[in-house]
Chain A
Amino acid sequence: MRKVKLLGLCLLVLLLSMALVVGCSGTKDEGKAPEEGKDAPKEVTVDPNYPSSPITYLIPFDPGGQSDVEARRQQPLLEKILGTSVIVTYKAGGGGAVGWSELVNHKPDGYFMAGINVPHIILQPLSRDNAGYKTEQIEPVAFFQRTPVGLAVQKDSPFDTLEEFIEYAKANPGAVTVGGSGTFSGHHIAAIEFEALTGVTLTYVPFTGAAPQMQAFLGKHVAAVMANSDALVQYEDSMKILAFGGTERFEALPDVPTFIEKGYDMIPSIDRGVAVPPGTPEEYKKKLSDAFMEVANDENLRKQMIEQGFVPVAMDMNEAQAYLDEMTKTYTELLESLK
C-alpha cells in the first residue's frame, strides 16, 4: 500500500513540476510545427507606456559564444534606454533553428526578441524539410554587427595569392580541402559562392564549430579555411589571408584584398541582429529599433568590436528588412542553381 502511495506521490510531483516548468516558459504550441495560415498577426492591444515590464532577449546559441558576448555588451545600454530590465536567456540547438522556431511561435507582445544571424535564418529553411520556422516569419528589428568571412591558408602554404590558389584548384579539382564551421552555414555558402564564381571545385570539410575548425587548420589537417574575421585577426600570425569579404578593406587587416578587388562579386559575411515574433505592433518594433540604433552608434562599443575583429553596422528595422530580403533572394538563387 505504501508503495502505491509513494509512486502516486512521485507521479503527482512529476506532473506538478512539469506544469510549473511549462508555466514559466510562457510559450504555447510547443512541438507543433507552424501551420499554414495560422501565422496571421495575432491581435495585441498597443500599450502607450511600452515597455512597462522586463524584455526577454533570447540567444539561440550556447552561453559564452559571440552572440552572447554581444548581447551582454548591449544589455546595460538597452536597459538604460528602454527603462526596463532586459533578460538574456538561451535556447541552443540546430545551429540556432530551435531558438528561432520558438521566436516565430511566441506571443507578439513586444516583450520577446531573439538574436538572429544571416545567412543562417535564410539557409536553414531552404535546406531542411522542417526547420520549424520560415524566413518570412522573422521580423528583423536591427542588424548591429557584421563578421566578414575570409579565405586563408597556412603560413607555410605554397599559395601566396588568391590567383595561385585558384589556378591550383582548377588544375586539381577536389584536391584542395577547405574547412568551415557547419553545413549550409555562412562558411559553407561562402565556399559554394566561391566555387560558382571561380569555376573551381573544392572539398568543403564541415566542423562542429569555429574551435575544432581552427584546430584542424593550425594542425594542417585542411589546406585552407573559410573563417570569421575575428578568427583571422586572432590567428593572423600563423596564416596568409588570401581574400576577405567586404565592400572595402578591413580596418584591422589593411593589407588583405577583398574578393571584389580580385574581380569576384561576393561579400561573404555573417550578420548579427535581433528580431521579434511575427505580428509585433509597429510602434513596439520602432521603439526597439531606435534603442538598438542608439546602442549600435555608441563609440565605446564600436571601438571594442573593431579591436576584436568585427565590423560594427547600424541598420534600423526598415534597412534590416530590405537587407534580409535581398540576401534571401541571392542565396535562394545560388542554391537553386546547384540543383
Chain B
Amino acid sequence: MLENFVVALGNVFDPVSFILMLVGVSAGILVGALPGLTATMALAILVPFTFTMPATTALMVLGGVYVGAIYGGCIAAILVNTPGTPSAIATTFDGYPLTKKGKAEHALVAAAYSSSVGGLIGAIILLLFSPLLANVALKFGHPEYFWLAIFGLTIIATLASKSIIKGLMGGALGLLLGTIGISPIGGDMRFTFGFWQLQAGLQLIVALIGFFCIPEIFNMVERTMEKTKINLFKHQKGVAWSVIKELNRKPMLLFRSAIIGAFVGIVPGAGGNIAALVSYNEAIRFSKTPEEFGKGTIDGVAAAEASNNSEVCGSLVPLLTLGIPGAAPAAVLLGALMLQGLRPGPELYTVFGEITYTFLISLIFANIALFFLGFYGSRFVARVINISPAYLAPIVVFMCVIGSYSIRNNMLDVYIMVLFGLIGYVTRKLGYHPGPIVLGLILGSIAENGLVQSMLMGKAQGNMIAMFFTRPISIVLIILCLISAAWPFISDKRQRKIEEMKKRLEGETHAN
C-alpha cells in the first residue's frame, strides 16, 4: 500500500493533471452555483471528454468537479435563498438570513471553510477506512431505509420551531407531493391527472426553485417600495479571518457534521440533501444558543456545508468497494470507472492501487483548493446582492425558468415551478416554512419504498413485526426517532426552567 501511496502522491502533482483538477473544481463551483444545473449533469457532460485522458487524470478532473459542484450550491443558497443543488437546502436556512443582515461575506467564508474541512475529513475517512465501511452499507436493508426516512421526518419539529402544527402540515403536503407518479409497487399511476409527463413524478430541483426562489423574487419586488435597501455588500478586512477563528473554536461542530455527512453518504440512496438536513438538526440540538438558528448564524451554515461536502467522499465508499454508487453523481463516476477499464472491488486497492490512491489523494487537494477558491472568490461573488432589484429580479426569473426546464427538458416542470412558486409565496405569508414541505418530498419516496419492501419481505418470512422492530440497526434508528421527536418538548421545558431560574434570581436581587 505504501508503495502505491508514494507513486500516487507523485501522480497527483503531475502539473497537467493538477491544473486540470483545479479547472474541474472551478467549473464545478460555477455549475453548482446555478440552480437547475446539478453535479450529476456536469459529470455526465464531462465523462466523454475524459475518455482520452489517462485514468488518473480523468478521475482527478471528475473528482474535482464533483467536490466543486456540491460546494457551489451554497453560493445561490446564501445570496438569493435558492439552493444551487439539492445538497444546499439546509444552507439557505441560515445563509440567507446572514445576507439579509449584511453578513454575506461571513456566510460565504464560513461555507468555504467548513466545506473544505468537511471534505478533508470525508476524504481521510475514505482513504483509510473504505473497505471496512463498505460492510455498513450492506447492512442497510429495507426496514433501515424506512426508519432512516422516519428519523429524517422528525427534523420537521426542529425546522418548524414556531409552530409544530404548521410544520407537520407542510411535511404532510410534501409527502403527498412525493406520491405523484408511478407507485413503486404495483406500478399504478397516482395523481397524474391525465398528464403523461407526471408519470415521472415531481423533480426535487423544480420544487426547490419554486418554493425557495420565486417567493424571493416577490420579496425583491416588495422591497423596491421601501426606501431602505437591504444591506449592501462591502468587503471588510478581517471579517474572513474572524469567521474562521470563530469556527475553529467549535471543532466539534465541524467534526460532528462531517461524520454525519460521511455516514449518510455511505448509505446508498440518501444524498447530500439529507446529510445536510440531519447535520443542521443535530447542530441545533447540541448548540448552547439554539434560538439563533434560522435567524442567521454561521454555525448553521457550517453544519450544513461541512456535512454535504463530506458526503461526497462517503458516497464513494460503496462505489469503490462494491460498485454501488452512494449518490446520483457517484453513479456517473461509476460509468467513468468502467470506461477506463476499472472494475470496482478489492482489485481497485491492489492491482489498480496506484490509480485509486491517486484519485483519493487528489480529493484531499481538491478540498484544499476549494477553500482558496471560495475564500478569495467570495468577496467578488457577494457583490451580486448589490445589483439593483430592477435588474436582479428579472435575471433570477430567467435563470429559474432555464434551470427548471434543463433539469430534464420538460416544459411541464416550468409550469409546476411557477405554480409551486405562487403556493410557496402564499404559504410563506401564512407562516409555513418551505423546509418541511421539501423534506417530505425528499423522504416520502424513501420511506414508501422501505415500507412496502419491508412488508413484502416480512410477509415472505412470515413475521412482519420482527422485520420492522428486531433488526439491530433498526432498533438504533427507532431510538433516535423517539429522542428526536421528543426533543423539542424536552428542550422547551429546559428553556422554561432556565428562564424561571433567571426570573427568580432577578426577583431576589430586586428584593435585596
What's the minimum C-beta distance from B85 to chain A, rounded to whole angstroms? 16
Complex CA gap A214/B394 in Å reads 46
Residues of A within 8 A of B40 (CB): 62-64
Contact with A along B187-225 (1 / 0, CB 8 A): 111001011110111000000000000000100111011
Residues of A within 8 A of B44 (CB): 62-64, 68
Contact indicator A221/B185 (Cβ below 8 Å): no
Residues of A within 8 A of B409 (CB): 25, 89-91
Within 8 A of A (CB), among B357-412: 389-390, 393-394, 397-398, 401-402, 405, 408-412
Complex CA gap A218/B323 in Å reads 11
Complex CA gap A85/B475 in Å reads 56
What's the minimum C-beta distance from A311 to chain B, rounded to whole angstroms? 17
Residue from A13, A18, A33 within 8 A of B414 (CB atoms): A18
Residues of B within 8 A of A18 (CB): 401, 411, 414
Residue from B185, B394, B402 within 8 A of A183 (CB atoms): B185
Residues of A within 8 A of B410 (CB): 91, 93, 98
Residues of A within 8 A of B181 (CB): 94
Residues of A within 8 A of B389 (CB): 6
Q: Is B186 an interface residue, CB under 8 A from the partner?
A: yes
Complex CA gap A212/B449 in Å reads 11
Residues of A within 8 A of B331 (CB): 62, 64-65, 211
Known: A63-B41, A69-B339, A175-B462. A10 touches B196 (CB 8 A): no
**How many A-B contacts are there with CB distance less than 8 Å?**
200
Complex CA gap A65/B410 in Å reads 19
Contact indicator B394/A218 (Cβ below 8 Å): no
Contact indicator A6/B189 (Cβ below 8 Å): no
Pick from B113-121, B137-145, B150-158 the stretch touching chain A. Answer: B137-145
Contact count band on B: 35 or more
Residues of B within 8 A of A220 (CB): 138
Q: Is A38 an interface residue, CB under 8 A from the partner?
A: no
Q: Is A14 an interface residue, CB under 8 A from the partner?
A: yes
What's the minimum C-beta distance from B210 to chain A, rounded to whole angstroms? 13
Number of interface residues of A (CB under 8 A): 68
Complex CA gap A64/B200 in Å reads 18
Residues of B within 8 A of A308 (CB): 338
Known: A3-B222, A64-B43, A93-B197. A184 touches B398 (CB 8 A): no
B interface: dominant SS? helix
Complex CA gap A101/B48 in Å reads 27
Residues of B within 8 A of A186 (CB): none
Residues of B within 8 A of A247 (CB): none
Contact indicator A63/B141 (Cβ below 8 Å): no
Residues of B within 8 A of A72 (CB): 47-48
| Smallest CB gap from A178: residue in B | B460
Q: Is A138 an interface residue, CB under 8 A from the partner?
A: no
Contact with A along B316-327 (1 / 0, CB 8 A): 001000111100
Contact indicator B398/A13 (Cβ below 8 Å): yes
Contact indicator B197/A69 (Cβ below 8 Å): no
Pick from B64-72, B305-313, B451-459, B492-500 the stretch touching chain A. Answer: B451-459
Pick from A124-132, A256-264, A289-297, A320-328 the stretch touching chain B. Answer: A124-132
Within 8 A of B (CB), among A124-153: 127-133
Contact indicator A206/B184 (Cβ below 8 Å): yes
Q: Is A74 an interface residue, CB under 8 A from the partner?
A: no
Q: Is B470 an interface residue, CB under 8 A from the partner?
A: no
Complex CA gap A130/B48 in Å reads 36
Contact indicator A131/B199 (Cβ below 8 Å): yes
Residues of B within 8 A of A101 (CB): 196-197
| Smallest CB gap from B201: residue in A | A93
Residue from B43, B183, B397 within 8 A of A14 (CB atoms): B397
Within 8 A of A (CB), among B315-362: 318, 322-325, 328, 331-332, 334-335, 338-339, 343-345
Complex CA gap A171/B220 in Å reads 68
Q: Is B444 an interface residue, CB under 8 A from the partner?
A: no
Q: Is B268 an interface residue, CB under 8 A from the partner?
A: yes
Residues of A within 8 A of B225 (CB): 2-3
Contact indicator B189/A93 (Cβ below 8 Å): no
Q: Is A95 an interface residue, CB under 8 A from the partner?
A: yes
Q: Is A92 an interface residue, CB under 8 A from the partner?
A: yes
Q: Is B461 an interface residue, CB under 8 A from the partner?
A: yes
Contact indicator B268/A93 (Cβ below 8 Å): no
Contact indicator A21/B405 (Cβ below 8 Å): yes
Q: Is A226 an interface residue, CB under 8 A from the partner?
A: no
Q: Is A274 an interface residue, CB under 8 A from the partner?
A: no
Within 8 A of A (CB), among B273-294: none
Residues of B within 8 A of A9 (CB): 390, 393-394
Within 8 A of A (CB), among B441-480: 449, 453, 456-457, 459-462
Residue from A22, A30, A176, A221 within 8 A of B197 (CB atoms): A30
Residues of A within 8 A of B131 (CB): none
Q: Is A161 an interface residue, CB under 8 A from the partner?
A: no
Complex CA gap A64/B40 in Å reads 9
Q: Is A198 an interface residue, CB under 8 A from the partner?
A: no
What's the minimum C-beta distance from B62 to chain A, rounded to whole angstroms? 11
Contact indicator A205/B222 (Cβ below 8 Å): no
Complex CA gap A16/B119 in Å reads 40
Known: A3-B225, A215-B138. A30 touches B324 (CB 8 A): no
Residue from B138, B187, B199, B418 within 8 A of A93 (CB atoms): B199
Complex CA gap A174/B332 in Å reads 36
Residues of B within 8 A of A98 (CB): 196-197, 199-200, 408, 410
Contact indicator A216/B137 (Cβ below 8 Å): no
Q: Is B30 an interface residue, CB under 8 A from the partner?
A: no
Known: A94-B182, A221-B457, A234-B323. A3 touches B224 (CB 8 A): yes
Extra pairs beyond A33-B196, A65-B335, A219-B138 (13, CB < 8 Å): A13-B394, A17-B398, A21-B414, A64-B334, A68-B44, A72-B47, A72-B48, A90-B408, A95-B182, A128-B182, A206-B453, A215-B324, A220-B138
Q: Which 7 A-B pairs have the closest CB atoms?
A: A93-B200, A132-B196, A63-B44, A94-B199, A219-B138, A64-B332, A183-B187
List, sorted by A's number, 14 A–B pairs whose CB atoms are closer than 8 Å: A3-B224, A25-B405, A25-B409, A68-B335, A89-B409, A90-B408, A97-B200, A128-B189, A203-B460, A205-B456, A215-B138, A218-B138, A219-B139, A219-B141
Give B contacts to A, CB under 8 Å.
40-41, 43-45, 47-48, 137-142, 181-189, 192, 194-197, 199-201, 217, 220-222, 224-225, 268-269, 318, 322-325, 328, 331-332, 334-335, 338-339, 343-345, 389-390, 393-394, 397-398, 401-402, 405, 408-412, 414, 418, 449, 453, 456-457, 459-462
